Protein backbone atom coordinates (compact mmCIF):
# COMPACT_ATOMS: atom_id res chain seq x y z
CA UNK A 1 0.00 0.00 0.00
CA UNK A 2 1.59 3.21 -1.10
CA UNK A 3 0.73 6.22 1.02
CA UNK A 4 0.24 8.39 -2.06
CA UNK A 5 -2.63 6.14 -3.19
CA UNK A 6 -4.27 5.98 0.23
CA UNK A 7 -6.90 8.33 1.52
CA UNK A 8 -8.98 7.88 4.60
CA UNK A 9 -12.64 6.99 4.28
CA UNK A 10 -13.10 6.75 8.03
CA UNK A 11 -10.92 6.88 11.12
CA UNK A 12 -11.51 5.28 14.51
CA UNK A 13 -9.61 5.63 17.78
CA UNK A 14 -8.93 2.80 20.21
CA UNK A 15 -8.14 4.60 23.46
CA UNK A 16 -7.17 1.44 25.35
CA UNK A 17 -7.70 -2.32 25.34
CA UNK A 18 -11.02 -1.95 27.16
CA UNK A 19 -12.41 0.21 24.34
CA UNK A 20 -11.44 -2.11 21.49
CA UNK A 21 -14.86 -3.82 21.44
CA UNK A 22 -16.62 -0.49 21.05
CA UNK A 23 -14.30 0.47 18.20
CA UNK A 24 -14.85 -2.92 16.53
CA UNK A 25 -18.60 -2.31 16.71
CA UNK A 26 -18.22 1.15 15.14
CA UNK A 27 -16.02 -0.33 12.41
CA UNK A 28 -18.56 -3.05 11.60
CA UNK A 29 -21.44 -0.57 11.62
CA UNK A 30 -19.51 1.64 9.21
CA UNK A 31 -18.62 -1.13 6.77
CA UNK A 32 -22.18 -2.46 6.75
CA UNK A 33 -23.74 0.97 6.21
CA UNK A 34 -21.19 2.65 3.94
CA UNK A 35 -21.99 2.96 0.28
CA UNK A 36 -18.26 3.29 -0.37
CA UNK A 37 -17.45 -0.22 0.89
CA UNK A 38 -18.06 -2.65 -1.95
CA UNK A 39 -15.66 -5.40 -0.96
CA UNK A 40 -15.61 -8.12 1.66
CA UNK A 41 -11.81 -8.25 1.65
CA UNK A 42 -10.03 -6.16 4.28
CA UNK A 43 -6.24 -5.85 4.24
CA UNK A 44 -4.85 -4.87 7.66
CA UNK A 45 -1.60 -2.92 7.52
CA UNK A 46 0.48 -2.06 10.54
CA UNK A 47 3.81 -2.61 12.20
CA UNK A 48 4.52 -5.68 14.27
CA UNK A 49 2.66 -5.19 17.54
CA UNK A 50 0.31 -2.52 16.21
CA UNK A 51 -2.71 -4.60 17.16
CA UNK A 52 -3.90 -6.19 13.92
CA UNK A 53 -4.66 -9.58 15.47
CA UNK A 54 -6.21 -8.01 18.57
CA UNK A 55 -8.51 -5.85 16.46
CA UNK A 56 -9.50 -8.74 14.18
CA UNK A 57 -10.24 -10.79 17.31
CA UNK A 58 -12.53 -8.00 18.54
CA UNK A 59 -14.25 -7.84 15.13
CA UNK A 60 -14.87 -11.59 15.18
CA UNK A 61 -16.21 -11.43 18.74
CA UNK A 62 -18.61 -8.63 17.69
CA UNK A 63 -19.72 -10.83 14.77
CA UNK A 64 -20.59 -13.58 17.23
CA UNK A 65 -17.72 -15.97 16.55
CA UNK A 66 -17.60 -18.44 19.44
CA UNK A 67 -14.38 -20.19 18.42
CA UNK A 68 -11.06 -19.01 19.80
CA UNK A 69 -9.72 -16.36 17.42
CA UNK A 70 -5.97 -16.17 17.09
CA UNK A 71 -3.41 -15.33 14.48
CA UNK A 72 -3.00 -18.04 11.83
CA UNK A 73 0.74 -17.38 11.71
CA UNK A 74 1.67 -20.98 10.96
CA UNK A 75 -1.52 -22.24 9.30
CA UNK A 76 -1.86 -19.07 7.15
CA UNK A 77 -5.67 -19.12 7.38
CA UNK A 78 -8.21 -19.70 10.13
CA UNK A 79 -11.88 -20.17 9.34
CA UNK A 80 -14.62 -18.97 11.68
CA UNK A 81 -18.40 -18.80 11.50
CA UNK A 82 -20.34 -15.72 12.59
CA UNK A 83 -23.46 -15.87 14.76
CA UNK A 84 -25.48 -15.39 11.55
CA UNK A 85 -23.78 -18.39 9.96
CA UNK A 86 -21.58 -16.68 7.39
CA UNK A 87 -17.90 -17.60 7.06
CA UNK A 88 -15.02 -15.39 8.10
CA UNK A 89 -11.50 -16.10 6.84
CA UNK A 90 -8.57 -14.72 8.82
CA UNK A 91 -5.24 -14.77 6.98
CA UNK A 92 -1.72 -14.09 8.22
CA UNK A 93 0.84 -13.96 5.43
CA UNK A 94 3.78 -12.94 7.62
CA UNK A 95 5.61 -16.25 7.18
CA UNK A 96 5.04 -16.87 3.48
CA UNK A 97 8.01 -16.54 1.19
CA UNK A 98 6.32 -16.50 -2.20
CA UNK A 99 3.02 -15.79 -3.92
CA UNK A 100 2.94 -19.47 -4.87
CA UNK A 101 2.34 -20.32 -1.20
CA UNK A 102 -0.79 -18.15 -1.25
CA UNK A 103 -2.00 -19.91 -4.39
CA UNK A 104 -1.21 -23.29 -2.79
CA UNK A 105 -3.73 -22.64 0.00
CA UNK A 106 -6.42 -21.80 -2.57
CA UNK A 107 -6.42 -18.04 -2.04
CA UNK A 108 -8.52 -17.43 -5.15
CA UNK A 109 -11.33 -19.61 -3.80
CA UNK A 110 -11.30 -17.81 -0.46
CA UNK A 111 -11.41 -14.41 -2.16
CA UNK A 112 -14.30 -15.41 -4.42
CA UNK A 113 -16.37 -16.88 -1.58
CA UNK A 114 -19.25 -14.98 -0.03
CA UNK A 115 -17.29 -14.42 3.16
CA UNK A 116 -15.48 -11.74 5.10
CA UNK A 117 -11.73 -11.92 4.58
CA UNK A 118 -9.44 -10.28 7.14
CA UNK A 119 -5.80 -10.26 6.00
CA UNK A 120 -2.73 -9.58 8.13
CA UNK A 121 0.52 -8.75 6.33
CA UNK A 122 -1.15 -8.11 2.95
CA UNK A 123 2.11 -6.54 1.74
CA UNK A 124 3.28 -10.09 1.03
CA UNK A 125 0.49 -10.73 -1.51
CA UNK A 126 -0.50 -7.27 -2.72
CA UNK A 127 -0.02 -8.14 -6.38
CA UNK A 128 -2.77 -10.78 -6.16
CA UNK A 129 -5.26 -8.96 -3.95
CA UNK A 130 -8.54 -8.49 -5.82
CA UNK A 131 -9.32 -5.09 -7.21
CA UNK A 132 -11.34 -3.05 -4.76
CA UNK A 133 -10.01 -4.64 -1.57
CA UNK A 134 -10.24 -2.32 1.43
CA UNK A 135 -7.01 -1.30 3.16
CA UNK A 136 -7.17 -0.81 6.92
CA UNK A 137 -4.20 0.85 8.63
CA UNK A 138 -3.62 0.37 12.35
CA UNK A 139 -1.08 2.65 13.94
CA UNK A 140 0.23 2.98 17.47
CA UNK A 141 0.12 6.45 18.95
CA UNK A 142 2.62 7.85 21.48
CA UNK A 143 -0.06 7.84 24.23
CA UNK A 144 -0.61 4.07 23.82
CA UNK A 145 -3.84 4.42 21.87
CA UNK A 146 -4.33 3.11 18.33
CA UNK A 147 -5.73 4.73 15.22
CA UNK A 148 -7.67 2.55 12.78
CA UNK A 149 -8.16 4.04 9.32
CA UNK A 150 -10.26 2.52 6.58
CA UNK A 151 -9.35 3.94 3.22
CA UNK A 152 -8.11 3.65 -0.28
Q: What is the DSSP string of the chain?
A: --GGG--EEEEEEE-SGGGHHHHHHHHHHHHHH-SS---SEEEEE--TTSSHHHHHHHHHHHTT--SPP---TTTSEEEEE-TTS-EEEEEE-TT--SHHHHHHTTHHHHHHSSSEEEEESGGGGGGGSPTT-EEEEEEE-TTS-EEEEEE-
Residue 29, C-beta contacts closer than 8 angstroms, at least 6 positions apart: none
Residue 70: pLDDT above 90?
no
Q: What is the pLDDT of residues 110-138, one digit of tens each?
A: 999 989 999 999 999 999 999 989 999 99
Please return the burial class of 74, using the count of CB atoms within 10 Å of its CB with bins 0-12, 13-18 and 19+.
Answer: exposed
Residue 4: pLDDT above 90?
no
pLDDT score at 57: 95
Q: What is the pLDDT of residues 43-55, one digit of tens each?
A: 999 999 999 999 9
User: Mean pLDDT across the chain, nearest whole number?
Assistant: 89
For 3-151, CATH number out of 3.10.20.30, 3.30.1370.100, 3.40.50.300, 3.40.50.1010 equals 3.40.50.300
pLDDT score at 26: 94
Residue 105, C-beta contacts closer than 8 angstroms, at least 6 positions apart: 76, 77
* Single pTM value for the model: 0.89
Q: What is the pLDDT of residues 131-141, one digit of tens each?
A: 989 999 999 99
Q: Tell me which of 5 and 14 has the higher pLDDT.
A: 14
* Residue 39 banded pLDDT, cuts 50, 70, 90: confident
Amino acid sequence: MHSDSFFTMKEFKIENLESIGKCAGQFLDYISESREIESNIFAFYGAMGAGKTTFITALCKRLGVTDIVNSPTFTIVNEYVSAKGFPIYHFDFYRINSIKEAYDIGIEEYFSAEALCFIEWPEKIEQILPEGYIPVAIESCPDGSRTVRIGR
